Structure 1
Amino acid sequence: MEAQLLGSKGLSAFGGGSRGAAPPSPRLLFLAHRIPYPPDKGEKIRAWHILDHLADRFAVEAGFLVDDPADLQHLPVLERRCAKVVWRPALSRRQVAARALLRARPGRPLTLGWFHDPALFAWAQQGLAAGRYDAVFVYSSAMAPYAMGPAARRPGLVRVLDMVDVDSEKWRAYAAAARPPMAWVYAREARTLLAFERRTAAEFDRTVFVSAEEARHFAALAPESADRLGFLDNGVDLARFDPAGGYPNPYAEPGRSGAPAIVFTGTMGYRPNVDAVAWFAEAVLPLLRAAPPAGLAPPEFWIVGANPAPAVQALAAQPGVHVTGAVPDVRPYVAHAAVSVAPLRIARGIQNKVLEAMALARPVVATPQAFEGVRAQPGRDLLVAEGAAEMAAQVAAVLAGQHPGLGAAARAAVVAGHDWAATLGGLDVMLGQAATR
């Protein structure tokens, strides 16, 4: 295969090499706003499993941005799965923000400028104009412009857009929680991005979301494209998240208190995660520590994930709160926790953190927002709680041993409803005609 870095003056070899024989047809263009490997965060998990699935059916040419240079060490994995890998280094947040503002136009969402790379765009458009592909799969609405326009409208070319979530609704929620002037900025982004989402859904052959609920929500916002919408449930790597994995207990290290561990996992610079852990630490945990279940020490809250924002780091000063930052493997923290919580108040689509904790047979307590799209029965497979008092009561019930079968039921639910092999079957139907050329 070829692995290439797109430079401002064209293509230059980056590494890898040729397999010696031309890859077989049919060919598919895969575009993503982040390198889809390693699958260590929500957006990469879904992107990687979809790419891996498609690579069994197509000669995939993958193009994406790389925002963390450390991820370049994983390029060989992608090179082995793809006929061609083309990438561009993402700019710093300050540079990207400046570029987004420079590309701002009336009615145009800032998101598009944020993820626009001229060289990557030119490469994708050149391949489309040359008729090199039988199908296109675009991951995230921010990358949709790369596969739009006259070059992408060739008769017979099948184009699928995975919006994953209705991103415009996320910005609407941000606006409702913010103060001016940022509330105005977020409200503008919500409005302009929804208009763009509607335009892309009308142009692509199929637009999919992470859950039936999310697809129905968008259909209500874009009724003109309702017959073009679908969904692909998120799955979970059941072999990787195996409760019999024999993980070391990170809570048993010398100096640990031995108190029951409540865990939250995620990228801790992401606004919805920051809001979730701050709310839990400030509104829920004090209730649990003030009146722990009989015979138990006051529980402790473990926030596990990379890039903790300053607001998250500050939570470590509160009694019973631990902020780990990046860890080599989150599975031990989940596998040995007394309960995993998903106290998200701003959320779209299916939460991988919920599926992974359930796959590890841990009791999960989630807000209704975090429960959306999960194929499970509340009260049997996990607990759903709204508000601080109810969240504290449900966590306390788990700590007190009132739900002894919850973990096993959680594992059974994700095995039945969230196996990647089953959830991605719908993608084969959408791309079936192109896959047989």
Structure 2
Amino acid sequence: MRGEILFLAHRVPFPPDRGDKIRSHHVLKALAEIAPVHVGCLAENSTDITNEHRLAEVAASWCMSRRSKPLPVAGVEALLRGQPVSLTAFRSEALSQWVNQLLAERDIGAIYVFSGQMGQYVPRDWQGRLLVDLVDVDSAKFEAFAEAGRGPRSWIDAREGKLLRGVEAELAKRADATLLVSEAEADLLRKRVPTPDRIRALRNGIDCAAFDPKAVEPEQALASGGPHYVFTGQMDYAPNIDAVRRMTNAIMPGVLSKLPSAQFHIVGRAPTREVMALDGVNNTRVVGEVPDTRPWLAGADIVVAPLTIARGVQNKVLEAMAMARPVIVSPDAATGIEAKSGRHFIVASNDAAFVEELLRLSNDSGTARALGHSARQFVLDTMSWPAMLSDLPRLLGLEQVAPRDAA
């Protein structure tokens, strides 16, 4: 690669406080150490707008277009055009014009597409280096939604999965490298597209300095009573909604039969009506959005991730492990994390296993503490962001490169 880099992301990579933003944030910082980076992204709310100035910390220039198209409008447009809703919902004429002008005026040698929705902004005649970071195989996720659902929603999800599969195949064909968050996701995509040879994993890392239990005061609400179990995540996201409903309705009753003082805390922004309805049920508390999830992780006796549908690597699990918490996860939530069950975390295969492990660790603080310490050491040893992104220069066509000042 010669020249500068265009970075296209479906969300503003600031602040790094949710899974996709965490990954895009660290990828962007790493790219900015290689060459000047121009950022095209979409803003969803006022918080995104207030963080626009932070793009100046890493970007030579940027365009942040407001994503204001209502989802029903995007759905109708998608039906008329025969496209996935995911593409029409993230379509911005202003951003498209900015990209075309940038490519005409600047010496752009590579485009890094973060999330498949942004592939639509890469001109068909683009001849430079193209990296496509799909993160997860979204088509497979929608297929799973369709299988688990029913009625019109199931049909919508099935349509989305089918169309996204075509988009993913086309992007994989065009890209010099197609990146997924884990080897499992990379293998899945290889089986689903006709050109599997340039697909590889680029794993997520963790900021171990930020997620350090020694640097965080535990949440006072968790200081007494309990044991306290915590789930963190974006609470308008369907897999997270299903996970907390499962924890409240299927797992907590078994725990409460032996530990009637146990409490389950749901921590995360934008809880839906379904999630809010869980407040008070089986000692569940819906905390909602908090300024910082780390105190809640630090104060938790056990962190849980009982997801039944999960793609890629769960940042919520890595964060809890970095905070030296004992973590109990479903097999789906453990995907892509090369830790060992029983040593670094606990994988519980069903509801009964979750109940059994929650009771065991709740009644054995020594084992729980040792599991947490082992979890943090695993993350420190194997999953720092610099280590995860060290291959970016080679992927950009640079065998050797001297770091530059991102400012």
Question: Taking structure 2 as the reference length, what is the TM-score of the superposition?
Answer: 0.94
Q: 1:426 to 1:192 in 2, by over 3 A?
A: same
Amino acid at match of 2:148: A
Runs of 5+ unmatched residues, structure 2: 403-407
2:348 aligned to 380, 385, 409, which one? Answer: 385
Q: 1:357 to 1:129 in 2, by over 3 A?
A: same
1:188-203 superposed matches below 5 A = 188-203=159-174
- Structure 1 residue 252 displacement after superposition: 4.8
Instruction: Look up the match of 1:22.
Output: none
- Structure 1 residue 26 displacement after superposition: 2.8
Q: 1:328 to 1:79 in 2, by over 3 A?
A: same
Deviating more after overlay: 398-407 vs 203-212 = 398-407
Instruction: Look up the match of 1:12.
Output: none
Quick check: 1:432 aligned with 2:397?
A: yes
CA distance in 1, matches of 2:39, 2:217: 34
Deviating more after overlay: 267-276 vs 126-135 = 126-135
Instruction: Look up the match of 1:226.
Output: 196
CA distance in 1, matches of 2:216, 2:21: 25
Instruction: Look up the match of 1:115.
Output: 90
The alignment covers a number of residue pairs equal to: 399
Quick check: 1:210 aligned with 2:185?
A: no
1:171-190 superposed matches below 5 A = 171-190=142-161
Quick check: 1:53 aligned with 2:25?
A: no
Instruction: Look up the match of 2:14.
Output: 37
1:15-414 superposed matches below 5 A = 26-91=3-68, 95-105=70-80, 107-130=82-105, 132-150=107-125, 152=126, 154=127, 157-222=128-193, 224-252=194-222, 258-292=225-259, 298-401=261-364, 402-414=367-379
Other structure's SS at 2:6 match? strand
Instruction: Look up the match of 2:405.
Output: none
Amino acid at match of 1:62: V
CA distance in 2, matches of 1:192, 1:249: 44
2:248–2:282: 8 Å Cα contact kept in structure 1? no
C-alpha RMSD of the superposition: 1.8
2:393–2:399: 8 Å Cα contact kept in structure 1? no
Spell out, residue by residue over 1:212-236, the C-alpha distance to the aligned partner (whole angstroms, 9 max, x if none): 11000110111x3211101111111
2:90–2:118: 8 Å Cα contact kept in structure 1? yes
Instruction: Look up the match of 1:6.
Output: none
CA distance in 2, matches of 1:346, 1:252: 29
- Structure 1 residue 130 displacement after superposition: 4.8
Other structure's SS at 1:227 match? coil
Runs of 5+ unmatched residues, structure 1: 1-24
CA distance in 2, matches of 1:62, 1:88: 11
2:75–2:85: 8 Å Cα contact kept in structure 1? yes
CA distance in 2, matches of 1:428, 1:97: 41
CA distance in 2, matches of 1:348, 1:399: 29
Other structure's SS at 2:37 match? strand
1:100–1:112: 8 Å Cα contact kept in structure 2? no
CA distance in 2, matches of 1:355, 1:414: 7
- Structure 1 residue 111 displacement after superposition: 1.2
Spell out, residue by residue over 1:113-139, the C-alpha distance to the aligned partner (whole angstroms, 9 max, x if none): 111111101211333345630111010
1:290–1:298: 8 Å Cα contact kept in structure 2? no
2:235–2:241: 8 Å Cα contact kept in structure 1? yes
Identity rate of aligned residues, in percent? Answer: 37
- Structure 1 residue 97 displacement after superposition: 3.0
Amino acid at match of 1:425: S
1:350–1:373: 8 Å Cα contact kept in structure 2? yes
Other structure's SS at 2:131 match? strand
Q: 1:129 to 1:149 in 2, by over 3 A?
A: farther
Other structure's SS at 2:195 match? helix
Spell out, residue by residue over 1:61-114, the C-alpha distance to the aligned partner (whole angstroms, 9 max, x if none): 00100001122222222212110121111115xx24303422434652221111
Other structure's SS at 1:319 match? helix
CA distance in 2, matches of 1:435, 1:40: 32
CA distance in 1, matches of 2:322, 2:81: 46
Question: Taking structure 1 as the reference length, what is the TM-score of the superposition?
Answer: 0.88
Other structure's SS at 2:108 match? coil
Q: 1:341 to 1:177 in 2, by over 3 A?
A: same
1:375–1:417: 8 Å Cα contact kept in structure 2? no
Other structure's SS at 1:88 match? strand
Deviating more after overlay: 79-88 vs 103-112 = 103-112
2:345–2:375: 8 Å Cα contact kept in structure 1? yes
Amino acid at match of 2:322: A
